[in-house]
Structure 1
Amino acid sequence: TEYATFVPLTLVATLLPLLPWVRARAREFVAVFDQTLRGWVWLLLIALLVILGTRLSGIAAGVALVVAQFFVSMLWWWLARPLPDKTRHATGLWVVLGVGVFALLVAGDYFTYEYAYVQDFGGNLAFLDRFIPPLLRGFRGLGLGVLLLAIFFAALPMTQTLRRIPWGGESRRGLIPLLLIVIAATAGAAYLARPRLIAPVQNVDTIRIGTYNIHSGANEFFYPDLEEIARTIRVSGADVVMLQEVEAGRLTSFGVDQALWLARRVGMDRRFYATNEGLHGLAVLSKVPISVSDGVLFTSREQQTGALQVQITPSATITVTLYNTWLAPLTVRTGGEDLEAQEQDQARQFTELLAWVAAQHPGGVLGRTVIGGTFHNVPDSPLAGQMRAAGFEDPFAGLPTELSATLWRSDVPHVRFDYLWLRNLGRLRAGVIDPDFPDASDHRMAVAEVSLGG
């Protein structure tokens, strides 16, 4: 897999600068440029590689980012500058300033994802509402810009160091131990990242399908616990799980690719579709072989969203098509769009979802289909009514709220926001994972067992 391939390559790119021979070759390269330009050339190369890596896909993007990692790792030697004894300097001040800049970059990165939830201050701080909230909401779509700004600050010492190239000359001293360290670390990473064996679910008459909004891997109070989420999935006995609010390497999730981590933890294959800045979106985990996957973005006035399509093949003659989505929430918050505008946004996304589903099935023959995810609306809403009118069955219909509610927060009543809509599949049983089960998210996992015979 790409993960198993790029983990050792990324580690090699990080550790290669430890080798004096590698630093000597880099020194020869930058020495070609004028001393006032060499740092800017290095910075532009990193920026170009990052842009290519975030705009392309597949192997080409991975290679560009691995090379960018090597260039960034080479910058460590430029952070320290030797000074004569008793020379006055402001190192302490620069360290404090650096921490402050890092904190601002982290905040900027955060709001490139959470811009839709910025509220006005109100009260005694209402005078700030004209400036701060619009500024923070304006971070939408600026993820790459924040990353490039971070690259600029990282390379700044190199652009300001003109009289020396700190990579030093070539030396054989310590080369063999360092080379062995690089080789051993790379081999260890390759071993740990090796693909996990998946026991496929095939040639069965029934499968269990679940939907689970994992709230970025944290509970209502933002305590992260992916292990508990994995345990919830295992306890559910689901063969296929549609996940919403999944992160794939954000700072707020400590760089963890949550879909990949969960898939390896519970022994499933996975597909991820990014809806927001490439690192936040939808995923499907499956023990049933996956044959096709695709995704689409919806028109979104607030947080960007979309849908993920996955086809699974329980047998050679049976295909089940899954559509996983997350529709815009309806919330009352100061400074944001009013409730009517949010309802229009949600309804438009729902219409686009149905149109996209119809476009995937020319002639209107859907076959075995499941549309699931977080709809952010209640069972008696017009959206749910349209799903029933379109011929989809709600396997949770008739269950009392305490047995079907999926949103469990301390500040609002328990309601059902997460759905599994079935077409040409027989409902056997359905339920929400025991409400007394430890909270891993602010949503509960809903599971339906279906017959493939229809």
Structure 2
Amino acid sequence: MVALPPRARALPPLPRHHSAARVSHMLLRPFLMGIAVSLNAVWTLAAAESSPAVVTLRVLTYNIHHGEGVDGKLDLVRLARVITAARADVVALQEVDQKTTRTGGVDQAAEIARLTGLHFAYGKAMDYQGGAYGQALLSRWPLADFTVHPLPNPAKVEPRIAISATVRPAGQPAFRFVGTHLDATRDDTARWQQAARLIELFGVDATPTILIGDLNARPETHIMQALLQPFTDASASRPAPTSPAENPKARIDFVLLRPATTWRVLSSTVIPEAVASDHRPLLVELILATAEQ
């Protein structure tokens, strides 16, 4: 048996007052509206794809005083809890021991990374007590192109470095992440030269950059004023001291950004942790937009 198609329903007779042109318009209207909706969806998708990719970052800088708190206790677990509670995406640590006698031969950067579940890279500033003393970067994402940059040391005292890496959040644009710890002596000659070197290294090109750390300089100094020519102070609208931890009076820990048009600061907070180290950690939440708004 062959199935016959259902009989087509006859269209009702056209009312006499409807012209053929008007009827054609009435029949085409749903079709045209469908095309308009489809095009609108395409345009919306294209606009979304061409709009700036945006990533929100929680950035932390923390001088950890080789893991020793103001109570004299070496406690990396305590420090790791501070970092974890901050929900930091990228972290720069200063005064980090690696297998030294004074801290029991522990690779502190590796241990803190293990405790927090973050990727890490370590930069040695100098040999110390059978191991090394320096800085570390931690990140929720892999750290690529990790580099240690020696900084000027005219008085031949404690060597200073900057450490940098490329961070690419999953599915998002990359940025350059830099940690540093500048000279702490009263004479600011070394600090001045170190700041100048940081500007040469990271303050010239247009690469989205976060430069953070213990700069041992207050905002009003000529050193910070020089750094704030190419960089923006992420905490300028909410400045707060970070050192000493028990009763902070000096704002010497910073999150600096460039180019200014690439970043938007959502918040800046000095975490009220007064025991785990001799500095309080500084947490900044940022948005990185990869195209002009």
TM-score normalized with structure 2 length: 0.74
Of 220, 244, 259, the residue aligned with 1:380 is 220
Alpha-carbon deviations, 1:277-308, whole Å to 9, x = none? Answer: 16110100100232221011122221111110
The separation in 2 between residues aligned to 1:204 and 1:252, in whole angstroms, is 44
The alpha carbon displacement at 1:258 in A equals 0.6
The reply to whether residue 431 of structure 1 matches residue 269 of structure 2 is yes
Task: Number of aligned residue pairs: give it.
Answer: 230
Contact kept, 8 Å, 2:238 with 2:268, in 1: the verdict is no
Q: 1:408 deviation in Å?
A: 2.1
The residue number in structure 2 matching 1:406 is: 242
- Local SS of the residue matching 2:188: helix
The structure-2 alpha-carbon separation of the partners of 1:289 and 1:245, relative to structure 1 and needing over 3 Å to count, comes to same
State how far apart, in whole Å, the 1-side matches of 2:71 and 2:84 are. 23
Structure with greater proportional helix content: 1
Structure 1 residue 205, shift from structure 2 partner: 2.2
**What are structure 2's unaligned runs of at least 5 residues?**
1-52
Q: SS of the counterpart of 2:265?
A: strand
Choose between structure 1 and 2: higher strand proportion: 2
Check whether the contact 2:176–2:210 (CA below 8 A) recurs between aligned residues.
yes
How many angstroms does 1:204 deviate by?
6.8
- Partners of 1:204 and 1:314 within 8 A in 2: no
1:307 correspondence with 2:162? yes
**Equivalents in 2 of 1:369, 1:328: separation in Å?**
22
Give me the identity figure in percent.
29
| Partner AA of 2:270 in structure 1 | V
CA distance in 1, matches of 2:89, 2:224: 25
Alpha-carbon displacement from aligned partner over 1:312-337 (angstroms, at most 9, x marks no partner): 0014551110111100013xxxxxxx
**Any unmatched runs of 5+ in structure 1?**
1-202, 331-338, 359-363
Alignment partner of 1:279 is 2:279: no
- Out of 323, 340, 346, the position equivalent to 2:191 is 346
TM-score, normalising length from structure 1?
A: 0.48
Measured on the aligned residues, the alpha-carbon RMSD in Å equals 1.9
Aligned pair 1:262/2:262, yes or no?
Answer: no
Which residue in 2 is equivalent to 1:289?
Answer: 142
Aligned pairs for 1:109-148 (under 5 A) are none
Q: Which residue of 1 aligns with 2:151?
A: 298
1:452 to 273, 288, 291: 288
Partner of 1:234: 84
Question: Which aligned pairs between 1:13-412 and structure 2 lie closer than 5 A?
Answer: 205-277=55-127, 279-300=132-153, 301=155, 302-316=157-171, 318-330=173-185, 339=186, 342-357=187-202, 364-390=204-230, 392-400=231-239, 404-409=240-245
Structure 1 segments of 4+ aligned residues over 4 angstroms from their partners: none
Go from structure 1 to structure 2 and tell me whether the alpha carbon gap of 1:438 and 1:406 turns closer, same or farther (over 3 Å shift). Answer: closer
Partners of 2:274 and 2:251 lie apart in 1 by: 18
Matched letter for residue 67 of structure 2: G
- What amino acid maps onto 1:439 in structure 2? V
Compute the displacement of 1:387 (Å).
Answer: 2.1
Secondary structure of the structure 2 residue equivalent to 1:206:
strand
Opposite residue 293 of structure 1, the aligned amino acid is F
Which AA in structure 1 matches 2:237? G
Letter in 2 for 1:308: I
CA distance in 1, matches of 2:145, 2:223: 27
Secondary structure at the residue paired with 2:244? coil
Tell me the distance in 1 between the aligned counterparts of 2:220 and 2:287. 26
